[in-house]
Structure 1
Amino acid sequence: MTEIRIGTRGSQLALVQTGMVADALRAYLPDARIETVIIKTKGDRILDKPLGEIGDKGLFVSELEAALLEKKVDLAVHSAKDLPMCLAEGLEILAVPQRADARDVLVQVRKKGSEGTGPEGAKAGFASLPPRPVIGTGSKRRELYVKEICPQARVELIRGNVETRLSKLEAGQYDGIILAKAGLDRLGIMEKEKERFSFTPLEPSLFLPAACQGIIAVEGRSDWEYREAVAQLCHRESLLSFEAERRVLEVLQADCSQPAAAYSVTEKTEETERFRLTVMYGGRQVQGEGGVKERLALADALSLQIRREL
């Protein structure tokens, strides 16, 4: 029997995402025995400092990559926005499944009138906060957008898994926190906790997502014998966005200590297929579109435009 070991972080969200990959893989390798191997990363162990103070995005990846290279696991499942730009030699991304909702969400302890949809709903959500609210996030990008929408807000660091952050919010340490909708959806939290919390989705037109937010990346060894089976999990449009948005970060040389964002969509009609990309860096935002085949050139052009303007 084929045995496949999938490495993952130990949070509930990481385990759910790994389970999604394992279930999808069974359709292509029905006789395989698939095992989940939990690996604790440096980013999981140090929770009292911003990521930019303790290292780069490799904080959530390096131990998983070491396990791959040592053949302790065969695959590793990542939230793609946590991936460093350079993967370890001998490893590559074997699959990018379909992207989930890329938006951020403002979460508050439930009270009447504190949620909405669309840009106006998002503004209403922030407007419902108390004067000089405390907003929890560890992201420079989210801090920048919070300050644009709610200048009187005080932004404070929050780390830990989704459940930990919600507990801190409920305990009154924060008036609101910003979380990724993809994680909330995958955990079913917006439905399970709708009586305790209100959830206001923040539209990309107002609050641009992090590059690759909502995307899962499956990493493995370049010479692994079942890599073609894993490749069947790829979702074309999500892979296009993954490639272009990572290219933006590469050109900008952006890391988790800098406010940067990139979000793209592939728009299809009966006659054409267009790729639209929006990039933010240091508070400057630009947008462009072109053909799908030109997506990386578009990412280069927009990123270089921002760098020149700044």
Structure 2
Amino acid sequence: MSPATPERIVIATRESRLALWQAEHVKARLESLYPGCRVELLGMTTRGDQILDRPLAKVGGKGLFVKELETALLDGRADVAVHSMKDVPMQMGEEFALACISAREVPLDAFVSNRYESLADMPPGAVVGTSSLRRESQLHAQYPFLGVTSLRGNLDTRLRKLDEGQYDAIILAAAGLTRLGLEGRIRSVLPSEVSLPAAGQGALGIECLAGREDLIGWLQPLDDDDTAACVRAERAVARALAGSCEVPLGAYAQMRGGRLWLRGFVARPDGSRIVRAEREGAPADAEALGAALAEDLREQGADAILAELG
């Protein structure tokens, strides 16, 4: 093996079934790219996995899912960490680098129910479970007759709670269900006009230490230019608005004719007020496009909503 190729790469990952699938997916791609390289997984339990009795917004947000993995990078136990991009904090420490963002799976939300075909089929008072204020606000705005309650746990736990009858329906990311071969549980995929996705939803990111230029180079073949541009634009919206689990905020970019079409919203959790905006621009200007869209949202009243939530 030439010195230009890696001999061993250790991947830090959460131990949920979906996180392990994602890490195994990256492992297989690296082994295909670099035959002879030993790629190993370091399974870890994060604070986000441990605290299941309170809504994520109340216990520190999605950063709880990455902190322990980043510690493993810092102390040398792992070389890279694989994340769902929607779980990566909008502000990363300067010691870390997002080395690549791989091709996106379906980024939309999925309606899952054992009793109903769609949200519109559900009767008044029926209960929908979701862990996301973003989803909750959009549900309240469009289906005010439904009850919306908190749903925590990994994907399998959420499906089990649905099957036990604790909820009439639940909303999950379609990407996770698809990756685990559970497409059959999806009754319908919610159009972005009904449930605009979270920034980075459906995309995988690989993180390493910023000083590891060797790793960053080795990981470049896994990067997908279109997905990376879309996710950078979406994350720029959320970053500019201090987006976190405490803020019902969505941002979704799509490639159309070589251009980026970016949409975003900020809402009150109860859906009583939602401000929306959209912009189009060049993929090379993804982050500037996201910042401009965030400013559009502020001009339409997002600041007042954010002040209420602060």
Per the normalisation by structure 2, the TM-score is 0.90
Q: Does 1:189 align with 2:182?
A: yes
Aligned residue number for residue 71 of structure 1: 76
Instruction: Select 1:200's aligned residue among 185, 188, 204.
Output: 188
Over residues 203-236 of structure 1, what are the superposed CA-to-partner deviations in whole Å (9 max), with x where a residue is unaligned? 1122100111001000011232332111110000
Aligned residue number for residue 275 of structure 1: 260
The code of the aligned residue for 1:59 comes to L
Aligned residue number for residue 65 of structure 2: 60
Alignment size in residue pairs: 289
Aligned residue number for residue 95 of structure 2: 90
Aligned residue number for residue 148 of structure 2: 155
The code of the aligned residue for 1:278 comes to R
SS of match in other structure, 2:222: coil
Q: Does 1:144 align with 2:137?
A: yes
User: How far apart in 1 are the matches of 2:194 and 2:279?
Assistant: 17
Q: Does 1:298 align with 2:297?
A: no
**Bigger shift: residues 284-293 or 131-140:** 284-293
Preserved CA contact (<8 Å) 2:94 2:210: no
Structure 1 gaps of 5+ residues are 116-124
SS of match in other structure, 1:182: helix
Q: Does 1:284 align with 2:275?
A: yes
Aligned residue number for residue 239 of structure 1: 228
Preserved CA contact (<8 Å) 2:108 2:197: yes
User: How far apart in 1 are the matches of 2:33 and 2:210?
Assistant: 19
SS of match in other structure, 1:232: helix
The code of the aligned residue for 2:75 comes to E
Structure 1 residue 148 displacement after superposition = 2.1
> What does 1:211-230 correspond to in 2, within 5 Å?
211-224=199-212, 225-230=214-219
**Aligned Cα RMSD in Å?**
1.3
User: How far apart in 2 are the matches of 1:92 and 1:166?
Assistant: 34
The code of the aligned residue for 1:207 comes to S
Over residues 118-142 of structure 1, what are the superposed CA-to-partner deviations in whole Å (9 max), with x where a residue is unaligned? xxxxxxx112223311110111110
User: How far apart in 1 are the matches of 2:146 and 2:112?
Assistant: 15
Preserved CA contact (<8 Å) 1:105 1:202: yes
Structure 1 residue 292 displacement after superposition = 2.2
User: How far apart in 1 are the matches of 2:171 and 2:156?
Assistant: 13
User: How far apart in 2 are the matches of 1:218 and 1:198?
Assistant: 28
SS of match in other structure, 1:294: helix
User: How far apart in 1 are the matches of 2:266 and 2:298?
Assistant: 8
User: How far apart in 1 are the matches of 2:90 and 2:43?
Assistant: 23
User: How far apart in 2 are the matches of 1:171 and 1:43?
Assistant: 23
Instruction: Select 2:24's aligned residue among 16, 19, 24.
Output: 19
SS of match in other structure, 1:106: strand
Preserved CA contact (<8 Å) 2:11 2:82: yes
User: How far apart in 2 are the matches of 1:46 and 1:208?
Assistant: 27
Write out the 4+ residue segments of structure 1 that deviate beyond 3 Å after TM superposition: none
SS of match in other structure, 2:113: strand
Preserved CA contact (<8 Å) 1:130 1:175: no
